[in-house]
Amino acid sequence: MANHKSALKRMRQTAKRTARNRAAKSQLRTKLKRYRAALASHEGAPPEELLRSTVGLVDRSVRKGVLHRNKGNRLKSSIMIAANKAAQPAGKPAKA
């Protein structure tokens, strides 16, 4: 246990930040699961609004420091690839 006032304050700050980051990460994971479920259940692309809000949440998580910038970019890339693949007609190959 910390003895100095500054160390005690640091512990309080860390606990507060950890709780905030954990909640934000949980919200992000839930949003990604819902998006992927919508993608799997629909014939074709999921609603544009769901795609936009998911990408926005990833951007917000990166801005707040919950995610690393590269991880955010990877997530957005995979989301967009999946959306574009779902939007393609069934027999038509995707462009390279």
Would 93 be classed as within a structural domain? no
Identity at 9, one-letter amino acid code? K
- Structural domains in the chain (count): 1
Residue 95 falls within a domain, yes or no?
Answer: no
Specify if 96 maps to a domain.
Answer: no
* 91 located within any domain: no
- pLDDT, one tens digit per residue, over 2-58 is 789 999 999 999 999 999 999 999 999 999 999 999 888 876 656 788 899 999 999
Q: How far apart are CA 19 and CA 26, in angstroms?
A: 11
pLDDT digits 0-9 by tens, 51-92: 999 999 999 999 999 999 999 999 999 999 988 888 777 666
3-state secondary structure string across the chain: CCCCHHHHHHHHHHHHHHHHHHHHHHHHHHHHHHHHHHHHHCCCCCCHHHHHHHHHHHHHHHHHCCCCHHHHHHHHHHHHHHHHHHHCCCCCCCCC
Structural domain range at position 81: 5-86
CATH number at residue 59: 1.20.58.110
Examine residue 94 and state whether it is found in any structural domain, yes or no.
Answer: no
pTM for the model: 0.77
Asked whether residue 38 is domain-assigned, the answer is yes
Residue at 61 is within a domain: yes
Number of neighbours of residue 67 by Cβ within 10 angstroms: 21
Q: Cα-flanking dihedrals φ and ψ of residue 65, to 5°?
A: 90, 10
